[in-house]
């Protein structure tokens, strides 16, 4: 085993193919372990430590140090208050204690996680999952389709190119996207308005309000009574569970009702669509959810599956599965057919009120699989 020491100057120390000990002492040093299982100790100064191949043990010491790792078994040790330190890694890894920053290298799809400090985590050209954990973090996805989750704290998230997904859990989180960098999604557990160049929004947890922008947005609610509003684009809006208030905004908008199973009142609720524009907007219905036999496409290929009637009472005895009452501007699901009533309260009845709409026709619907 070779022991190689520097001095107070800025040294470049190179190991051998064996197991070496490299000690930088003072100065801004570069320590290269090369082969073997090496021990690298930077000492004081802003040092760069690269163990090379093998299972290396690296200690930066005082100063703003950079560690280069190419083995998941490399061990890095930093003490508190010893500077702002960075790991550059070709493998997915989590930051150990007392290290602030992580940069992923190469093109492989690998992941990176932070710690309780205020971290800067930078992805590579692959598809990365970046998690800031505690602290107020800055995450940059770079290339690839990345998933960025700042964790607790006030975080700054920038996905870069690719179709990125952002996890937002506090109103202090900030998301940045440049134009023409993919189709990006925000998953938010707090009320959220899409910023520039962000296309999709999904509410989870306790979030209630979701707003779009001027792009073609896809906005999806949760089980709460949501208030969802599109913008100037061609928007797809899904209230999901709860009694939601849905506004498409300008442009051609779709209001989607698809639950992945047969109609259940709890899955859909009773929504209010505030600005349905007949002949422009459309209501999209799942064949599975509504038990429809009409073909996929615009309108009902089986005319008997939709009726527009004068009153709610007439709707209850209509033979059609989908019935619109002009009196109350209400859309009903009627699996009971011409029998009195709509059927079970848990799996039938009113599911949408279209404010201001006095007439509705088959071409206002799109049937999907």
Query: In 48-178, at which residue ranges do the beta strands (DSSP E only) sit?
Result: 48-50, 57-59, 66-69, 75-77, 86-89, 93-94, 101-104, 112-113, 120-122, 129-131, 138-140, 147-149, 156-158, 165-168, 174-176
Per residue in 262-293, pLDDT (tens digit) is 999 999 999 999 999 999 999 999 999 999 99
Answer for the pair 105, 89: CB distance below 8 angstroms, yes or no: yes
Percent of the chain that is helix, strand, coil (3-state, to 5) = 5, 35, 60
319 conformational bin, left if phi > 0, alpha if psi -120 to 50, beta if neither = alpha
Q: What are the residues whose beta carbons fall under 8 Å from the beta carbon of 178, sequence distance 6 or more?
A: 197
Answer for the pair 367, 300: CB distance below 8 angstroms, yes or no: yes
Q: What strands lie across the sheet with 227-229, from one edge to the other?
A: 192-193, 209-211, 227-229, 245-247, 271-273, 349-354, 330-333, 322-325, 306-309
pLDDT at 347: 83
pLDDT at 127: 99
CA 244/CA 223 separation, integer angstroms: 9
CA 46/CA 98 separation, integer angstroms: 15
- Average pLDDT, integer, range 122-145: 98
Per residue in 325-352, pLDDT (tens digit) is 999 999 999 998 878 778 787 888 999 9
- Render 276-321 in DSSP notation, one character per residue: --TTTSEEEEEHHHHT--SPSEES-SSGGGEEEESSHHHHHT-SSS
pLDDT at 22: 96
Q: Where are the domains of the chain?
A: 1-83, 252-369
Q: Is the pTM of this model over 0.85?
A: yes
pLDDT at 264: 95
Percentage with pLDDT > 90 across the chain: 94
Tally Cβ neighbours within 10 Å of residue 18: 13
Answer for the pair 219, 198: CB distance below 8 angstroms, yes or no: no
Per residue in 51-94, pLDDT (tens digit) is 999 999 999 999 999 999 998 899 999 999 999 999 999 999 99
Percentage with pLDDT > 70 across the chain: 100
Q: Is the pLDDT of residue 1 over 80?
A: no
CA 89/CA 101 separation, integer angstroms: 11
Average pLDDT of the chain? 96
pLDDT at 171: 96
| Cα–Cα separations (whole angstroms), residue 249 to 17, 194, 242, 269, 276 | 67, 14, 21, 22, 9
| Main-chain dihedrals φ then ψ at residue 154, nearest 5 degrees | -95, 105
As beta bridge partners, residue 50 has 32, 68
| Main-chain dihedrals φ then ψ at residue 112, nearest 5 degrees | -140, 140
Q: Is the pLDDT of residue 367 over 90?
A: yes
Look up tokens 């009574």; give the residue.
225
């Amino acid at each position: 085993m070779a022991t190689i020491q520097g001095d107070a100057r800025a040294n470049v120390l190179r190991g051998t193919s064996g197991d070496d000990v490299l000690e930088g002492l003072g100065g801004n040093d570069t320590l290269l372990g090369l082969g073997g299982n090496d021990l690298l100790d930077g000492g004081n100064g802003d040092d760069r430590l690269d163990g090379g191949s093998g299972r290396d043990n690296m200690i930066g010491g005082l100063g703003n140090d950079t560690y280069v790792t190419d083995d998941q078994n490399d061990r890095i040790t930093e003490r508190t208050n010893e500077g702002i330190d960075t790991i550059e890694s070709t493998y997915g890894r989590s930051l150990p204690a007392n290290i602030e920053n992580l940069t992923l290298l190469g093109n492989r799809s690998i992941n990176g996680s932070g710690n309780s400090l205020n971290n800067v985590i930078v992805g590579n050209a692959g598809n990365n999952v970046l998690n800031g954990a505690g602290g107020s973090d800055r995450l940059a996805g770079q290339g690839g389709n990345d998933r960025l989750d700042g964790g607790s704290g006030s975080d700054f998230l920038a996905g870069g190119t690719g179709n990125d997904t952002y996890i937002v859990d506090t109103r202090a989180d900030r998301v940045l996207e440049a134009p023409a960098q993919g189709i990006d999604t925000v998953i938010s557990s707090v009320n959220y308005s899409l910023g520039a160049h962000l296309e999709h929004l999904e509410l989870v947890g306790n979030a209630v309000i979701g707003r779009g922008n001027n792009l073609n947005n896809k906005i999806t609610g949760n089980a709460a009574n949501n208030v969802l509003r599109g913008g100037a684009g061609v928007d797809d809006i899904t209230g999901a569970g709860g009694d939601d208030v849905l506004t498409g905004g300008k442009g051609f908008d779709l209001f989607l009702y698809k639950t992945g199973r047969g109609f259940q009142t709890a899955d859909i609720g009773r929504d209010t669509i505030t600005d349905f524009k007949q002949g422009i907007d459309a209501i999209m219905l799942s064949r599975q959810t509504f038990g429809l036999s009409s073909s996929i496409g615009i309108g009902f290929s089986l005319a008997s599956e939709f009726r527009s009637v004068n009153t709610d009472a007439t709707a209850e005895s209509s033979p059609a599965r989908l019935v619109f009452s002009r009196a109350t501007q209400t859309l009903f699901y009627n699996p009971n057919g011409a029998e009195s009533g709509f059927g079970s309260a848990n799996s039938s009845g009113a599911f949408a009120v279209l404010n201001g709409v006095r007439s509705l026709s088959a071409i206002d619907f799109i049937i999907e699989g």
